[in-house]
Amino acid sequence: MLVLCYHALSERFPAALSVMPAAFERQLAALKRSGYRGATFEEAVQARSGRVVAITFDDAFLSVLRIGKPLLDAVGYPATVYAPTAYLDNPEQPLKWDGIDQWHGGEHEHELLPMSWDQLGELADAGWEVGSHTHTHPHLSEVAADDALRAELVESKATVEQRLGRPCTTLAYPYGDYDERVVAAAGAAGYSAAGTLPARLHGVRALAWPRVGIYHVDDDRRFRLKVSRTMRRLRGSRFWRG
């Protein structure tokens, strides 16, 4: 079971977090050829093993709907979108936080536009999962007050559930940043699984599930390597069933 983490898709956006549509299409074709079945993150963590791939998108960029959805439809894969809920009431405002704010004010600013709740609802109706990416996208391990940490997790879950009328059971930690206190808070907030972005695979478990980040620089060879290395290590881990 493989979980990939993407962000934006664009022909022209040179940011590390943006993948070219043609590259994404080739990556999906490679997964399909290798016999991977598509699943949401929630389903994939429940399945634990087997040739299952969960494609996840952090930040709810509009390009995921415009460019990603048709390419995923073509191979019959659903996906999971992680929504930073505080930002989505104003979808005409580009997303803004540490790490993407250097693209504000320039020719690529529009690449930072998020989806609206209606658009996320469309994806949910099509069988996609919409999970939480917290309320304001902080580094969770640096949120010192327990109340504030709880609010990030509880409010975003409640907002997704209220806006979309569906359960929100999984979470992606912003920046993949978490520690034991964050994992405990995520469990207490009612999440059944959460995705990280580790540099190396270790301690695989539902509330700290290692996702493989795919970025602008990942050509076909690097993509294949990342996938095969991850599958080998996962099979060697205790969490792998069967």
Judge contact between 136 and 59, C-beta under 8 A. Answer: no
218 binds Zn ion (CB under 5 A): no
Residues 174, 176, 195, 210: which binds Zn ion (CB under 5 A)? Answer: 174
| Exposure letters 107-141 (e unless 16+ CB within 10 A, then b) | ebeebbbbbbbebbbebbeeebbbbbbbbbbbebe
176 touches Zn ion by CB under 5 A: no
Q: What are phi and psi of 55, to 5 degrees?
A: -90, 120
Stretch of residues binding Zn ion (CB under 5 A), selected from 58-66, 122-130, 207-215, 229-237: 58-66
- The site map against Zn ion for 113-142 (x = CB under 5 A) is ------------------------------
Closer residue to Zn ion, CB minimum distance, 59 or 152: 59
Taking CB positions, which residue lies at the least distance from Zn ion?
Answer: 58
Stretch that binds Zn ion, among 25-33, 163-171, 174-182, 195-203 (CB under 5 A): 174-182
Only segment of 8-16, 169-177, 191-199, 225-233 that touches Zn ion (CB under 5 A) = 169-177
Q: How far is the CB of 41 from Zn ion (least distance, A)?
A: 15
- CA angle 135–140–141, rounded 5-degree value: 170
Q: Closest CB to Zn ion among 172 and 183?
A: 172
Among 59, 111, 129, 218, the residue binding Zn ion under the rule CB under 5 A is: 59
For 48-81, b where at least 16 C-beta lie within 10 A, e where not — what string?
A: eeeebbbbbbbbbbbbbbebbbebbeeeebbbbb
Of 59, 117, 111, 53, nearest to 79 by C-alpha is 53
Q: Is residue 152 part of the contact set for Zn ion (CB under 5 A)?
A: no
- 42 part of the interface to Zn ion, by CB under 5 A: no
* Structural tokens at position 219: 């050509």
| Residue found under tokens 């301690």 | 203
Which lies closer to Zn ion via its Cβ, residue 52 or residue 67? 67
58 binds Zn ion (CB under 5 A): yes
Q: How far is the CB of 176 from Zn ion (least distance, A)?
A: 9
The site for Zn ion (CB under 5 A) is made up of: 58-59, 174
